[in-house]
Amino acid sequence: MTGVGKTAVGHALAKLANVPFVDLGASIERTAGRSRAAIVAQGGKEALCTLEKAALATELQDPSPRVVALGAATLLHRPARLSVLERGLLVALTATVEELARRAPGNDNECLAEQSAARAASYAEAHAVIDTTSRSIDEIASEVLGMSVQDPIVVPLGERTYLVDVAAEQAEANLSKTLARLSPSRVVLVTDEVVWPLWGERVDRIIERLAGEPVRVILPPGERHKTLAAVERILRSAVEAPVDRAAVVVGVGGGVVTDVAGLSAAVALRGLRWVAVPTTLLSMVDASVGGKTAVDLGAAKNAVGAFHQPSRVIVDPLFTCTESPRAVSSGLAEVLKTALIGDPLFYQELSAEGGAERLAVQRDVGALTRAIRSSVAVKAGVVGRDEREAGERANLNLGHTVGHALETEGGFSRLSHGEAVALGTVAALRVGVALGITPADLAEQVISVLRRLHLPTDLDAQPVATALRWVSFDKKRRRDALRMVLVRAPGMVEVVPVVPADLPRLLTPPG
Ligand SMILES: NC(=O)c1ccc[n+]([C@@H]2O[C@H](COP(=O)([O-])OP(=O)(O)OC[C@H]3O[C@@H](n4cnc5c(N)ncnc54)[C@H](O)[C@@H]3O)[C@@H](O)[C@H]2O)c1
């Protein structure tokens, strides 16, 4: 909003960070040789908007660090906003209407209030929204600089936008900041018996120090306990404590714990805020984005659930050091799959010499951090564009059609989720090659990376023929056709209808 302090804060921040400052409005005026008012007078608001978008695109193409002050209206255009969020750290400055009127006299308070309210959902899609009322310019500039060092990944969902921190050995610091910001009346800590002695007790101590003694719920571990009974146990503990609606649920554990904790938060007192602290690689790269929460109902996996976005997700790759090699490989299947869908650059790194080994054998924390960031960023982008899986989000189902069938056939115990995804990806590659969509050499390369990540790839050794009876239960099918995700090139996948009866033929290896 006019008068909020973009230019002043931008200048101060650029000075502090020792990088150039670009005022997009001024640079448009320089290029056009006219003031913005003259551009609007001659060509209307659209003319200014077109120039703003072009200037923004130029800025975003330049990889060197800079501080850019955007025109107030630039962010109202969602595609432009999403591209800024992908490429940079976006901070929206706000101020109370009274303060704005004081700083930019001549504006009508009612008009400012209306404009402010109309823009709130757009401005909320940022890495941070900072209220500049009664704060100094330098204070705000150093806060933003601190954020740029932390470099969280944003999941842009309007007023439910949240951040995912991915940083090694930073869980304590990030959790402390999160609790300070959320200021909960009480914390409900949910974890499991395996995670509690490994990492849960540490998190518990931070919570106790910052937010008082939490309500502790330590569940038995494993998918067997991803049930309504576990949710009921959490709800009873919270209600009996008792907690109020300012309480926050913190789930510390693998995907089972974060799913159960998130669903409990969705229904407790008609909705509590929650924070996810995933501790398995799989939950860091998969369950951390999108707000899907669920429990199983008998044999029906994830049959009872809700979309309930967390307030923050804190990922510390260090937590994976207590996981077994098989569990880490399982998470890496998801990493490779996601890179193939949306991060061709990272796919190249992974398939290059030593790339897979650094993750699966050396378990290098730096490399793991890079891998997790890649997956989270791809998913955050996809979810931001398609939260409810009306279109693009379906791309994330690469490897799921046959993978889920094999996972179900194995009673969810013979294969881990990642192993099933790896085999499902091999199946999708075979179908892609058979339909002339996937180049055969790309299929071979992906299969070799899967092997180097210590994942199973021998589809012919799997009970595929019997497992295929499960594909017709696939939630994603449309009428008689399955919707399989096939790979055209790294970073380029498409959903293709496949009739289940054709699958055995399409899955037969060539020759
Ligand atoms: N919500 C979503 O979007 C989403 C996405 C993917 C998967 N999931 C769900 O996640 C679950 C699978 O996740 P998972 O593999 O993390 O399962 P999990 O939570 O069962 O964890 C696997 C095992 O590892 C233990 N563990 C957790 N952290 C550990 C650590 N740091 N070191 C050693 N052991 C540790 C757990 O106690 C458990 O015994 C499934 O139920 C799946 O449906 C949800």
Rounded distance from Cα 235 to ligand 1 centre (Å): 21
For 202, 290, 377, 417, the CA distances from 286, given in Å and listed in that order, are: 24, 9, 11, 11
398: left (phi over 0), alpha (psi -120 to 50) or beta: beta
Q: Sign (positive/negative) of CA torsion 21, 153, 356, 422?
A: negative
Q: Whose CA is nearest to atom 13 of ligand 1?
A: 255
Rounded distance from Cα 33 to ligand 1 centre (Å): 58
User: Is the model's pLDDT at 477 over the cut of 70?
Assistant: no
Triad 169, 174, 176: Cα angle to 5°: 120
User: Is the model's pLDDT at 474 over the cut of 70?
Assistant: no
Instruction: State how far the Cα of 10 lies from the Cα of 1, in Å rounded to an integer.
Output: 14
* pTM over 0.75, yes/no: yes
Instruction: State how far the Cα of 465 lies from the Cα of 488, in Å rounded to an integer.
Output: 26
3-class state of residue 168 by DSSP = coil
Instruction: State how far the Cα of 153 lies from the Cα of 289, in Å rounded to an integer.
Output: 10
User: Is the model's pLDDT at 497 over the cut of 80?
Assistant: yes
User: Is the model's pLDDT at 247 over the cut of 90?
Assistant: yes
Average pLDDT of the segment spanning 458-463: 95
pLDDT tens digits, one per residue of 399-416? 999 999 999 898 888 999
Decide: 493 and 485 in contact? Cβ < 8 Å: yes
The catalytically annotated residue of 135, 363, 393, 476 is: 393
User: Is the model's pLDDT at 38 over the cut of 70?
Assistant: yes
- Indicate if ligand 1 lies below 6 Å from the C-beta of 286: yes
Residue 243, pLDDT score: 97
**Bigger pLDDT: 379 vs 44:** 379
Percent of the chain past pLDDT 70, that is, above it, reads 98
The catalytically annotated residue of 404, 430, 452, 454 is: 404
Instruction: State how far the Cα of 421 lies from the Cα of 450, in Å rounded to an integer.
Output: 10
Is residue 209 flagged as an active site residue? no
User: Is the model's pLDDT at 511 over the cut of 80?
Assistant: no
What is the number of alpha carbons within 13 Å of residue 327 lying toward its C-beta?
15
The whole-chain average pLDDT of the chain stands at 93
Instruction: State how far the Cα of 85 lies from the Cα of 39, in Å rounded to an integer.
Output: 27
Residue 133, pLDDT score: 92
- Indicate if ligand 1 lies below 6 Å from the C-beta of 221: yes
Closest listed residue to residue 320, CA positions, set 164, 155, 166, 448: 166
Max CA separation in the chain (angstroms): 78
- Indicate if ligand 1 lies below 6 Å from the C-beta of 305: no
Q: Whose CA is nearest to atom 27 of ligand 1?
A: 254
Rounded distance from Cα 189 to ligand 1 centre (Å): 17
User: Is the model's pLDDT at 72 over the cut of 80?
Assistant: no
Triad 54, 59, 61: Cα angle to 5°: 95
Q: What atom in ligand 1 is closest to the CA of residue 330?
A: 15
Residue 476, pLDDT score: 61
Q: What atom in ligand 1 is closest to the CA of residue 290?
A: 3
pLDDT tens digits, one per residue of 314-359? 999 999 999 999 999 999 999 999 999 999 999 999 999 999 999 9
Instruction: State how far the Cα of 212 lies from the Cα of 205, in Å rounded to an integer.
Output: 9
- Indicate if ligand 1 lies below 6 Å from the C-beta of 302: yes
Q: What atom in ligand 1 is closest to the CA of residue 320?
A: 31
Q: Sign (positive/negative) of CA torsion 104, 46, 384, 338?
A: negative
